[in-house]
Chains A and B, each alone.
Chain A
């Protein structure tokens, strides 16, 4: 067997591995060294640098940026997970809206920044297109991978926001279910407020007490049942009082109708009154006429007597003459 001298190959392999490890690992120390080395390289090598060196420079820059972007993405994913955990909470009263909105804002900014960085990286790759095809492919693959990671993160972010809105709606519904009774009382007209003030105070005491129970956070289901029973009692009282109120309103309506009908009938009575007055006038007038008639009839006899006397006188004269 022949001993082949592969020392040079060995050296080259070590060199390549060393450069690869210092470029691709992304360890802080190595990156620092690389950064320190780069100005040295820049300072030492002007203009016509060997391709290896420039490639190494470009590769170093590229992988540094890619590494930074990857680290940002992982941080954002961690924050997103925390936000998911916060948004999934279903307690009614222990919600932390300030924290959630802050976290949402931060994540949104992070995603925008990462987006910009990826765009820069892509531009960088396009500008520094090397002749080495595989290196080009590698860089474009890296960019695509970073982009897809960012896309999945933003999808997750969108899902979390949806979950959060849904939970907020649910919690609002449940909150209304408990505070439903006190909300209903707020719609009652002010005229009945003395009647309802004491009631409202009592129920508010009850609901406050219930709020305390809820926030102690024990066996929630059982508490819900008990609260429903309290609510049943309170609700039955409320319905009874409402029926009383409606009865009173109906009675008021009836009274009003009564007054209206009486007013209408007053008009009728006035007409009857006028009619009777007319009757009286007519009958009085007729009576006067009859009296006059009677008077004239009785006085007419005298005239008739006189006329008859004159006729008889003429008759007598006629008879005496013939």
Chain B
């Protein structure tokens, strides 16, 4: 076991490069890499309002703490946290408490947007209905993800955001790339990558992922040593291909270190060509949903389509109902 190059006791060895780090050098190096990702892909410019999606998990907690640390002193940049409450008892209620104490500690304005208030149903409601035999073919992660992205984008826009920042790490990205390959979803693949591109619509707030170059294990280590996040709860409803892909990538990584890293680098290198190909085969036209007015590629958006399937009849709202955390 090697010491850190500074001489202190190492807490971590990055296998694919062979270097060992003490807690303090690891933390410095981590922050440098995130700053480099932000700079290389011009993720943040001047005069920005950045909404950080905050779930209470380690990834989003670390991304909020770092955005605040890096940009908190800039007078032209405002950081706001937004948490989505899907209504999952024993999971989201606990993690929401974690988010509140973090934003109080960091002194960041924090809003909570609930499924139940704004879309008429919590995930628990939907799952209970499914247990009774309704909408059997709906995958919980699919509609949960669709609802969550919709509310986060819309709430961010209503708060005046110029960017939406998420906690996606290298593992999340590698999994998403592989899943889209396996599904043959070229259009979605072309929309990935470090900087937002392709879909340009004033109602879509561009997304940034400052942790995208950092493996999940290192995000966890940073969360532990900086005490930015220490909630490790898992959603009780998780299922599907993502978890098979996650295990597969981790199995390969354990035997051949650096695999996830090179997989994602290769993808990034191919991205310009991918985007060209996807554009040539025609991009979906962005229209506005006839029911709710949100941007979509069709007559009605995915959210309104799913709500219809779930028999929810909602009067269209001018703005979302949000709760400001005190």
Q: Do A and B bind each other?
A: no
Binding site for A on B (CB under 8 A): none
